[in-house]
Chains A and B, each alone.
Chain A
């Protein structure tokens, strides 16, 4: 039997009114602000200027910007750390191996209670049918 996505009914609509109130306040502030027309960019390639700004080569950029080389290195390290963190979180504590995603639609596993069952049996239980 296939399942289809259903409209969520356990939604807390009252709390959502706070978001609407926030939008009303922000909309009022933005619409009554006097920012004027945008200045726009100078002539030249925007994409090339972004690339030059990212690597601190501002003398070649057509449009004014700041250098972002340090931010570029820092974001590379952060992405690396996030990748390591995601692998660390996905690793099971018992057998120290990353298992494939269980595409069971959130159904409870039949071999769930016994901790000694390995990943292969659990996956077979899921694909073989339900309890």
Chain B
């Protein structure tokens, strides 16, 4: 007895919207990174769900590559947060309004 695909999609939409909520409401750059991670993982849930739906493993393999890409994104993101803290002494994203100072 398999779960219908639309419930996977509903879970994915919930995780994605939690990520969108975090990005829209919070101002901490590290929370931003976590929210982007939630959104990427929501896409992974969709890939795996449709992989199972069609009986083809392409989606599962591609979700592995998405995870690797998310790791690269976090490495760069934390580097940017580090520079942000060094230059503004804060990681509030609304304070970093200029690119040169």
Q: Which of A's residues lie within 8 Å of B, judged by CB?
A: 8, 10-13, 15-16, 18-20, 22-23, 26-27, 30-31, 33, 35-42, 46, 49-50, 53-54, 61, 63-66, 68, 71-72, 75, 78-79, 81-83, 85-90, 92, 106, 108, 112
Contact = CB atoms under 8 A, between A and B. Distances in A.
Looking at chain A's contact residues, the main secondary structure is: helix
Contact of B78 (A13, A42, A53, A86): A86
Contacts of B20: 18-19, 22
B61 A54 contact: yes
Contact of B61 (A30, A41, A65, A90): A65
B76 interface: yes
A82 B57 CA distance: 28
B80 interface: yes
B: contact size bracket: 35 or more
A16 B25 CA distance: 6
Interface of B: 2-6, 9-10, 13-14, 16-18, 20-21, 24-28, 49, 52-58, 60-62, 64-65, 68-69, 71-73, 75-76, 78-80, 82-83, 85-86, 89-90
12 contacts: A19-B21, A19-B24, A23-B17, A26-B13, A36-B4, A40-B52, A41-B55, A49-B57, A65-B61, A78-B68, A86-B78, A106-B90
